[in-house]
Structure 1
Amino acid sequence: MIATRDTSQRRLQISELVRQHGSVQVAALAQRFGVSMQTVRKDLRYLTERGVMARAYGGAIDSGVVGGTPTEPPYEAKRTVFLDEKRRIGQRAAALVKAGDTIAIDSGTTAIQLAEAMPNIEVTVVTNDFGVLTALTSKSNINIVMLGGELRRKNMAFYGGLTVEALGALHVDMLFLGVDGFDLERGITTHYEPEAMLNRKMVEAARMVVAISDSSKFGKICLHRIIPVSDLNVLITDTNAPEEIRQASHQLGFELLLA
């Protein structure tokens, strides 16, 4: 009787975690509840069969995501959540940049932390993000190329045909790619279709693709796919990255840097 009650309580708590965070990971749940990963997989299978969630590689996602898109958080909320992790990731990413490099910085709150951590050295930065522009303006040695287009106030970045067209003649050493969703099977995804289109163009222009993402994005799937995870050269994330991500870095051939 006690075991049954414990199982029911655990499954109830897992359901609540999925509703709160949009996704869960097997390894993290096993550690949280002190049970085996096999037990967690049984719990997820049980909840999936009842429509509470949908299975994803290494975990599960909110069933409301399937066939649609999770709600995009407000801009100000995104700027403050996981701020310490984003700062560390931004600092680790900035350390990869050398004098003489030409880099592209995608939009996003982690991208802003990268821009703030950038040393004032002679590099060229291509971006479509207003926050990145603001963070770099005072750094006089950095040459800034701002991609034009229509301002999307929901994330304070520029998109559209003009933005994509401006990238056509550009080549960069590194692209620092922000992430809304990161799933090993379904790839790197975003909420906004014009952003996905622009990001794919950025990937084409870059010699090296570096994803910058805090660990809350793992297992999340948004509607619009940018690239498969196997197209990454480097992933920079925080030390809470699940074991599946660490294993995937070897299997899929990208370098994993923990901040």
Structure 2
Amino acid sequence: MLIECFFEARESLIEREWKMLSTIERRQKIVLLTEQKGNVSVKQLAETFDISTVTIRSDLNELNRLGLIVRSRGGAVTSNRLTKELSIKEKHTKNHKIKQKLGQAVANLIEDGDAIILDSGSTTEEVAHCLIGKKELTVMTNGLNIANELAQSEGCDVFITGGRLRKKSMSFYGIHAEERLRYYNFSKVILGVDGIDIDRGISTHYEPEANFNRAMCDNAQQIIVVTDSSKFGKRSLHSIIKLDAIDVLVTDSNIPKEFVDVIKNLNIELHIVNIK
């Protein structure tokens, strides 16, 4: 009986918190609910957030415009353009051979003596592995897996950004870590992404990580993005930067042609790894 009362009280508290959300926060919750359930109705959402069906329809229309959900009659369903977040362990097994080639291609762009900041992730871990033979390299990273990989490199001086560890992605984040970046000047930042879209740019699933990635870009002379072709045409919930802010993009030969044309028009240096 006590356990039932506890869960009822907890659900009631969660409902009250959701009713006080801002428009942005509410829309984020709608996307997450849609992803979890597969589909949601206007009526259910109006009751959940204790707002009018007119407001919910406005939310759904805007989220549909952004490609984060797909409007359906009376509600919404998940968008196949919205990427699902995988754990770092799951990411390791997906397109692993391609990521190894991408890692080498990015490492070829790094010169001895460079000071770089390397993002967390499975693809960037392959980059780290390929950097082991470099000399007089300074690397700051927000990835625990990245630091562990580079620990075996004699020619690499490794710094951790610090902050709070997010175990799902093995990455550090937080305001204090962002503040620390302001005291450094990096020649290059290397970013992995969860989604890359022509209109919305590059994106990731977790808002604090998106904020931290933007701080990384603000403190580097050159922005290098590395991603396998499966991420093109996909969107995650939180945008990092627009496409035209990227200096160099490294991907594989399955990149959609429409992206190649856009990237060239934006004068982004494009490196395509042949995997066929």
Class of the TM-score when normalised by the shorter of the 2 chains: 0.7 to 0.9
Quick one: higher RCO (CA 8 Å, sep 6+), 1 or 2? 1
Find out whether 1:172 has 2:202 as its counterpart. no
Query: Could you tell me which residue of structure 1 aligns to residue 200 of structure 2?
Result: 186
Aligned partner of 2:219 among 197, 205, 208: 205
Q: Is the 8 A contact 1:61 1:220 kept in 2?
A: no
Larger Rg: 2
Q: 1:6-45 residue pairs with structure 2 within 5 A?
A: none
Query: Cα distance, 1:55 vs. partner?
Result: 8.2
User: Share of identical aligned residues, percent?
Assistant: 37
Query: Could you tell me which residue of structure 2 aligns to residue 84 of structure 1?
Result: 97
CA deviations 1:84-112 (Å, max 9, x no partner) are 11111100000011111101101111000
2-structure distance, mates of 1:202, 1:125: 12
Runs of 4+ in 1 over 4 A off after TM superposition: none
Aligned partner of 1:153 among 167, 171, 183: 167
2-structure distance, mates of 1:184, 1:126: 29
Give the SS at the match of 1:182: strand
Q: Is the 8 A contact 1:102 1:174 kept in 2?
A: yes
Query: Could you tell me which residue of structure 2 aligns to residue 127 of structure 1?
Result: 141
Which has the higher mean CA deviation after the structures are superposed, 103-112 or 117-126? 117-126
Letter in 2 for 1:186: R
CA deviations 1:223-250 (Å, max 9, x no partner) are 1110000100010001111101211122
CA deviations 1:95-139 (Å, max 9, x no partner) are 011111101101111000000011231110010101111110010
Letter in 2 for 1:84: K
1-structure distance, mates of 2:175, 2:82: 23
2-structure distance, mates of 1:65, 1:110: 26
Q: Is the 8 A contact 1:61 1:219 kept in 2?
A: no
Query: Cα distance, 1:62 vs. partner?
Result: 6.4
2-structure distance, mates of 1:74, 1:137: 22
Find out whether 1:100 has 2:109 as its counterpart. no
Give the SS at the match of 1:195: helix
Query: Could you tell me which residue of structure 1 aligns to residue 261 of structure 2?
Result: 247
Give the SS at the match of 1:221: coil
Query: Could you tell me which residue of structure 1 aligns to residue 241 of structure 2?
Result: 227
CA deviations 1:35-65 (Å, max 9, x no partner) are xxxxxxxxxxxxxxxx9xx688xxx886345
How many residues align? The count is: 204
Letter in 1 for 2:257: E
Q: Is the 8 A contact 1:65 1:221 kept in 2?
A: no
1-structure distance, mates of 2:227, 2:146: 16
Measured on the aligned residues, the alpha-carbon RMSD in Å equals: 2.2
2-structure distance, mates of 1:156, 1:235: 24
Letter in 1 for 2:202: I
From the superposition, tell whether residues 174 and 150 of structure 1 become closer, same or farther in structure 2 (CA, over 3 Å): same
Output the TM-score relative to the length of structure 2.
Answer: 0.70
Q: Is the 8 A contact 2:164 2:173 kept in 1?
A: yes
Q: Is the 8 A contact 1:105 1:127 kept in 2?
A: yes
Find out whether 1:143 has 2:179 as its counterpart. no
